Amino acid sequence: MTALLQVENLSVAFGARRVVDDVSFTLAAGQTLALVGESGSGKSVTALSLLGLLPSGGHNPTGRILLDGEAVIGAKPATLQRLRGGVAGMVFQEPMSSLNPLHPIGRQVAEAIRLHRDLARPALRAAVLAALERAGFADAASRLDAYPHQLSGGQRQRVVIAMALANHPKLLIADEPTTALDVTIQNRILDLLAGLRAASGMAMLLITHDLRIVRRYADAVCVMRAGRIVEAGTVEAVFAAPAHPYTRALLGAVPHGAPRPVRQDAATLVEVAGLSVDFSAKAGLLRRTVARLRAVDDVSFSLRAGETLGLVGESGSGKSTIGFATLGLLPATGRVAFAGTALAGLDKQSMRALRARMQIVFQDPFSSLSPRLSVAEIVAEGLRVHEAQLRPAAREARVRAALAEVGLPEDAAGRYPHEFSGGQRQRIAIARAIVLKPDFLVLDEPTSALDMTVQAQIVALLRRLQQEHDLAYLFISHDLGVVRALAHRLIVLRAGRLVEEGAAEAIFAAPQHAYTRELIAASGALDRQTS
């Protein structure tokens, strides 16, 4: 079988630190190879190297990369442009950082097509719609003028997938392609990619932390740790008899257990009644409002100190919107109260006084961390605003303690976000939230970018923080395994409406709504692949 992609002795150093060390593998047409490993193991850096996408300045890879018979390392810009998108498409880990916030999604998909094909306007529009529909974007025709910030995380991920598939590449490099998607959409997207592979002979390099996905969709697997491949082979062989201790640790790492019961006398901290949120759909040169989209429709819930409320549902169901509206970050109707104080009508000074007690961990850590600030400056930013009286030494001690709590190394404080993996950036975001010692945290997919070993660590960390500080969590996630390990109660959303609510274990044991049963069944289908 002829290799479509051949990697020999690839090494990449960031300054004096070698992040990819002597990596070799091959990938044939029609084959799916999975790269797995913990956050920071070098998976994404390896993927970026394959298309010459590493930033310039001390990051030049060494070794040999052949893509469709052409050498990538040392290739001319024209060759790289032809390979990128034409021969190999790439789905990046963090969709918000790979989409232009100033351009509508239709224009961005069209740009990916125009780089490789000269099409008249009607044919170009048809190609854009076809690409979006292949990626599972059901209402593509009505959303071409939407901007990335108007889409859910899962919808943005589907736009990125559409751009990667737009020119029918021979190879798809998928770096965590379903990170932001709920389990039902995960299955559809991965089934779609598997179908395209079978129909066209497209190869796929699948980079993921989810071993359930590897077991179900990959033919071969390479396990990476600290920049090196420590084990490689067919999926069946590696999963059946892992030879390396780290591979065995990966296969055994799943969030487990249950949260500690909430105190019976715990005070109600958050009250939400009749919450509704509308977004405007704009069109035309003057961007006039032509329609209003109800993203959240009449949702009510309460949350006590020390309690975790899980919020689950498909991408675009309104989960993140509810989180933002609960914090007063989006205009909404209905009543939202924190510690007995209604947020509506508060002046700026009163609202700021509450901000320190209500924090959020965003879904996409890279877009929420300033690339111009060091990690220490990012984590200390809230302290400068809300605890300005702290002396520099005390502020520095608080920052270092927060970084240590989330498992980041001592030298992390002086480094910048781009120097960390996606999972490490998520831990920076968590440190930024907890450094203020809040009472209430909105956790918007806080484990979505993390490998399974780190997921288990973060679940344990969140449990410990909750027990020590009586924290209330609004936990938004598509990963039902993580939700089950953390949540006391569960809300299931669909199309902005609450379809089921109750104790988490009761819902998992006997879901009442058909959509809840579909979600749990889809999650179970993946779980059974690793059993």
Mind spelling out the 3-state secondary structure of 444-484?
Answer: ECCCCCCCHHHHHHHHHHHHHHHHHHCCEEEEECCCHHHHH
Is there a contact between 171 and 203 (Cβ–Cβ < 8 Å)? Answer: yes
Q: Is residue 268 part of a domain?
A: no
Containing structural domain, residue 179: 3-252
Q: Is residue 282 part of a domain?
A: no
Is there a contact between 67 and 89 (Cβ–Cβ < 8 Å)? Answer: no
**What's the pLDDT band for 1 if we cut at 50, 70, 90?**
low
pLDDT in tens, 464-496: 889 988 999 999 988 888 899 999 999 999 989
Residues 248 and 309 in one domain: no
Amino acid at the residue 336 = V
- Tell me: pLDDT of 271 over 90: yes
Residues 380 and 474 in one domain: yes
Helices (H) and strands (E) in the chain, counts: 20, 20
User: Residues 15-27: what's their mean pLDDT?
Assistant: 91
Residues 207 and 121 in one domain: yes
Residues 6+ apart with CB under 8 A from 176: 93, 207, 208, 209, 422, 449
pLDDT for residue 216: 87
pLDDT in tens, 428-454: 998 999 999 999 999 998 877 666 777
| Mean confidence (pLDDT) of the chain | 88
pLDDT for residue 105: 94
Amino acid at the residue 454 = V
Token representation of residue 240 = 């059946």
Residues 240 and 309 in one domain: no
User: Residues 12-17: what's their mean pLDDT?
Assistant: 84
Is there a contact between 23 and 229 (Cβ–Cβ < 8 Å)? Answer: yes
Residues 232 and 146 in one domain: yes
**Apex CA 155: angle with CA 152 and CA 160, to 5°?**
125
Q: Is residue 21 part of a domain?
A: yes
Instruction: Tell whether pTM > 0.75.
Output: no
Q: Is residue 260 part of a domain?
A: no
Q: Is residue 271 part of a domain?
A: no
Q: Is residue 518 part of a domain?
A: yes
pLDDT in tens, 411-429: 999 999 988 877 788 889 9
Residues 324 and 190 in one domain: no
pLDDT for residue 70: 93
- Tell me: pLDDT of 531 over 50: no
| Number of domains, the chain | 2
Residues 247 and 358 in one domain: no
Neighbours of 281 (CB within 10 A): 15
**What's the pLDDT band for 528 if we cut at 50, 70, 90?**
very low
Residues 317 and 404 in one domain: yes
Specify which residues 476 forms β-bridges with. 311, 444
